[in-house]
């Protein structure tokens, strides 16, 4: 057991040193180095146990294979942000959004908007990468906290994702333990609704002191209108995105289609903006429109000089903005895959089950197992499936309905994934919303409250159906 703990102890030590030495820049290289060194230590443990490099490699490659689509979505979102800014879609969302959203209730309203969208679409990533971007821009315009706004966006996005029958994690949790999907969703209401209501209450009381005055808002709206051709038509790419997801077009092709639509819209209606972007970097460009669009897709939008606060609002996006996050995901999945293939992760989860004597202990162990897997394997899908397989016999032995297990897997594995910087979900949200994971994590209230509520319900024996009461 001590040998199994060695790579994990080393990782904790290195990550702590990374944060101490590099602070907020820790995720831009130092954390990746820590994960690579910890992966090497895991490989040595595998060799010590008599495993071949080929077996360890297969686990590593398998984990990376699982993360390929999330990484492709991440890249496509980077291009989407660049195209939606230069097309005027994001500026339009900000321009009209500040008229509709009261800064006094902005955080709660943001959570509700994202919850409704995610419930309909079944994708927290898509909602964060579209509506979330606009809400972050509106928050900046109001001079509100980016960290709290990101927490509200994430809270709402994950609430809807968790309860949507279209969500991949919701379907996976039900399938992993063999329960009916809609019974699973119905059972999740016990913890999900109270946690979200509590989050909304807290967001409603979070002050908006320091919010921009109407004069400041007018100035920003004027600046946006001077820089872009603003009209309701600039929201067309957003409407297209919502329509595509409504008709269940998969996330990746939907994002690519909307990126293309934003690019074409920019070429047709924001020609001056596109030309200015290209000529600022390449004064002698023979095809400034084509070059400007190309630049927006790979390096994001850059405001003209002298735009002040507007530059902070709009200068983002592009494929290149996501490369560091992909670097983080690759190294994290390498480490997680090696932990899985060497049996270390399974051994640790087995230890979590020891000492379980009552229902509350089992629920706590499940929450802990999901969180540990998210930390070590860096992937929410593995954090659902692996504990799901390992904990199912324990729930059967205790006479608990497996619906309790599927719900707790979602309360832990699905929701805590976004709180870990090197997890695919945490890395995605940090890159997309432009706020470091540890900065928004204290404000991802729904994601924090729900696991705690699950444990409390376990010890109080609330909503813990027995096998006899099953309605499969």
Burial of 48 (0-12, 13-18, 19+ CB in 10 A): exposed
Q: What is the pLDDT of residue 472?
A: 36
Tabulate helix, strand, coil % of the chain (nearest 5): 80, 0, 20
User: Distance between CA atoms of 335 and 59, rounded to whole angstroms?
Assistant: 10
Given a contact cutoff of 8 angstroms between Cβ atoms, the answer to whether 151 and 239 are in contact is no
pLDDT tens for each residue of 48-58: 888 899 999 98
| Residue 379 near residue 424 (C-beta atoms within 8 A) | yes
pLDDT tens digits, one per residue of 176-186: 888 888 889 99
Nearest alpha carbon to residue 373 among 80, 78, 113, 176: 176
Give mean pLDDT in consecutive 10-residue pieces for the chain, a chain of 472 residues: 81 85 80 90 91 89 82 86 89 81 85 86 82 88 90 94 84 85 90 96 80 72 87 87 77 87 91 91 89 92 77 83 84 85 81 79 90 85 82 85 92 93 89 91 96 93 71 38
Contact 431, 81 (CB under 8 A): no
Residue appearing with tokens 């945490």: 426
Sign of the torsion formed by the C-alpha atoms of 266, 268, 270 and 276: positive
Residue 180 and residue 185: Cα distance in Å, rounded?
9
Residues in the chain: 472
Enumerate the domain spans of the chain.
Answer: 2-14+27-67+323-469
> 50-68: b or e for each residue (b if 16 or more CB lie within 10 Å)?
ebeeeebeebbeebbebbe
């Amino acid at each position: 057991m001590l040998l199994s703990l060695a790579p994990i102890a080393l990782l904790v030590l290195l990550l702590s040193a990374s944060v101490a030495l590099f602070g907020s820049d820790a995720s831009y290289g130092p954390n990746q180095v820590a994960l690579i060194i910890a992966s090497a230590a895991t490989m040595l443990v595998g060799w010590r146990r008599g495993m071949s490099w080929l077996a360890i490699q297969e686990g590593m490659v398998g984990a990376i294979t699982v993360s390929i689509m999330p990484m492709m979505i991440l890249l496509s979102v980077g291009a989407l942000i660049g195209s939606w800014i230069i097309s005027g879609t994001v500026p339009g969302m900000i321009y009209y959004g500040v008229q509709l959203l009261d800064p006094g209730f902005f955080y709660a309203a943001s959570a509700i908007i994202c919850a409704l969208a995610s419930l309909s679409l079944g994708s927290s990533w898509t909602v964060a990468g579209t509506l979330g971007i606009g809400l972050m821009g509106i928050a900046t315009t109001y001079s509100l906290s980016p960290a709290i706004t990101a927490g509200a966006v994430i809270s709402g996005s994950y609430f809807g994702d968790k309860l949507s029958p279209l969500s991949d994690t919701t379907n996976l949790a039900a399938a992993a333990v063999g329960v009916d999907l809609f019974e699973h969703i119905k059972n999740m209401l016990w913890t999900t609704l109270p946690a979200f209501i509590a989050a909304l209450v807290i967001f409603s009381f979070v002050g908006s002191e320091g919010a921009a005055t109407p004069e400041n808002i007018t100035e920003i709206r004027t600046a946006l209108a001077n820089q872009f051709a603003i009209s309701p038509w600039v929201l067309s790419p957003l409407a297209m995105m919502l329509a595509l997801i409504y008709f269940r077009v998969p996330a990746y092709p939907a994002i690519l289609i909307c990126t293309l639509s934003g690019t074409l819209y920019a070429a047709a209606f924001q020609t001056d903006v596109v030309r200015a972007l290209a000529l600022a970097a390449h004064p002698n460009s023979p095809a400034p429109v084509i070059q400007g669009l190309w630049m927006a897709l790979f390096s994001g939008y850059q405001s003209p000089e002298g735009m002040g606060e507007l530059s902070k609002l709009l200068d983002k996006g592009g494929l290149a903005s996501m490369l560091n996050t992909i670097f983080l995901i690759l190294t994290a999945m390498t480490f997680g895959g090696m932990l899985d293939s060497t049996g270390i992760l399974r051994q640790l989860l087995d230890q979590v089950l020891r000492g379980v004597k009552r229902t509350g202990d089992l629920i706590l162990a499940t929450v802990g197992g999901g969180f540990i897997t998210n930390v070590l394997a860096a992937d929410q899908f593995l954090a659902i499936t692996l504990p799901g397989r390992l904990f199912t016999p324990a729930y059967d032995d205790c006479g608990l309905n497996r619906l309790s297990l599927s719900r707790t897997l979602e309360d832990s594995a699905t929701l805590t994934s976004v709180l870990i910087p090197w997890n695919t979900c945490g890395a995605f949200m940090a890159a997309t919303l432009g706020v470091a994971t540890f900065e928004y994590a204290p404000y991802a209230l729904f994601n924090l409250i729900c696991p705690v509520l699950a444990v409390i319900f376990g010890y109080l024996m609330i909503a813990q159906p027995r096998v006899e009461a099953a309605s499969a």
